Chain A
């Protein structure tokens, strides 16, 4: 990676993290399109999730509804997604025939 690429990646990450920090304060708490439709027309019983996520609804359970839990969750998620994407894309490239030779 050259310097321009590096500064683009860092700049992009900063933008993503700023959005992550602001989201819990700015985001609408109203149900989303699918939830809203479900409230009106759902034909089946709602069920509990099959799997208890560690940070359900982008909140830290121990901190209740505190927006700080939202900030921690979304910042953490942003970083996890970044690293997972690097991991998946790098792994895919490993299988390229005759790799390591491209720039």
Chain B
């Protein structure tokens, strides 16, 4: 759901840049306080994994495809949506400047949608549901992160006059409700793999970080 150049009037693009820069300021503050030495390389590996898996488009019906975003994955592993903002900022900036994936003028909006909105939705839903069942919570959080981000894009496109609101919400919602299933499955698999290899890196099995995250 990378917005290209030309889909946002420059004034609106600038507003999304400003919101994103403010979010990035808080994300960097979070990193300053909470990232310890051993979690810097963990974050970098996750960013590399997310970049690679975002290139793996999965076919869905209607001649369409979609890929994972990864914001919920990062937010859940680090126990903070700010971690997702940081990781997606790096991934989306590299995608925009090196590969033309997402317009440079739309980079602020893309980070807002796939980093801030997806990260906070994923983290919020996970926090609400984790008491019920950890893995169900992870799946639904990842699904919701993608779906809500897509709805945000549809609203931005409607405000920009680029998509009609009703059809924009319908198609963006429909496609991403399906792509969200892939987001959920991959997120569960990735966290299961980390749980198996290094349970100490996950917030619910690591008492030290659980306290820091408060």
A interface residue numbers (CB < 8 A to B): 1-2, 4-5, 8-9, 11-13, 15-17, 19-20, 22-24, 26-34, 36-38, 40-58, 70, 73-74, 76-86, 88-90, 92-93, 95-96, 102-103
Instruction: A34-B2, A80-B94, A89-B43 given; name 13 further pairs at CB < 8 Å.
Output: A9-B42, A16-B49, A30-B64, A32-B65, A41-B163, A44-B161, A51-B5, A77-B55, A84-B93, A84-B94, A85-B44, A86-B44, A88-B31
Mark out the residues of chain B between 157 and 207 whose CB falls within 8 Å of any chain A CB in the assembled complex.
160-164, 167-168, 171-172, 175-176, 179, 197-198, 201
- Tell me which residues across on chain A come within 8 A of B94, comparing CB atoms: 77, 80-81, 84
Task: From the candidates A19, A32, A79, A90, name the one contacting B1 in the complex (CB within 8 A).
Answer: A32
The interface residues of chain A, by DSSP majority, are classed as: helix
B interface residue numbers (CB < 8 A to A): 1-7, 28, 31-33, 35-38, 40-53, 55-59, 62-67, 86-87, 89-91, 93-101, 103-105, 150, 153-154, 160-164, 167-168, 171-172, 175-176, 179, 197-198, 201
Are A36 and B44 CB-contacts (below 8 A) given A43-B162, A44-B162, A77-B94?
Answer: no
- Tell me which residues across on chain A come within 8 A of B86, comparing CB atoms: 85, 88-89, 92
- Tell me which residues across on chain B come within 8 A of A58, comparing CB atoms: 55, 99, 101
Bound complex: CA A79 to CA B183 (Å):
23
Bound complex: CA A92 to CA B164 (Å):
41
Nearest-neighbor residue (CB-CB) of A12 within chain B? B45
Q: How far is the CB of B12 from chain A (nearest CB, A)?
A: 13
Are A79 and B150 touching (Cβ within 8 A)?
no
Are A54 and B56 touching (Cβ within 8 A)?
no
Q: How far is the CB of A44 from chain B (nearest CB, A)?
A: 5
Are A27 and B57 CB-contacts (below 8 A) given A16-B49, A45-B6, A46-B6?
Answer: yes
Which of A17, A22, A74 is packed against the most chain B CB atoms within 10 Å?
Answer: A74
Could you pull out 8 A-B pairs where Cβ atoms are within 8 angstroms? A19-B56, A30-B59, A32-B2, A49-B104, A51-B104, A74-B51, A77-B55, A81-B91
- Tell me which residues across on chain A come within 8 A of B41, comparing CB atoms: 1, 5, 9, 86
- Tell me which residues across on chain A come within 8 A of B179, comparing CB atoms: 33
Are A32 and B36 touching (Cβ within 8 A)?
no
Which of A30, A40, A57 is packed against the most chain B CB atoms within 10 Å?
Answer: A30
Are A37 and B175 touching (Cβ within 8 A)?
yes
Q: How far is the CB of B61 from chain A (nearest CB, A)?
A: 10
Q: How far is the CB of B182 from chain A (nearest CB, A)?
A: 11
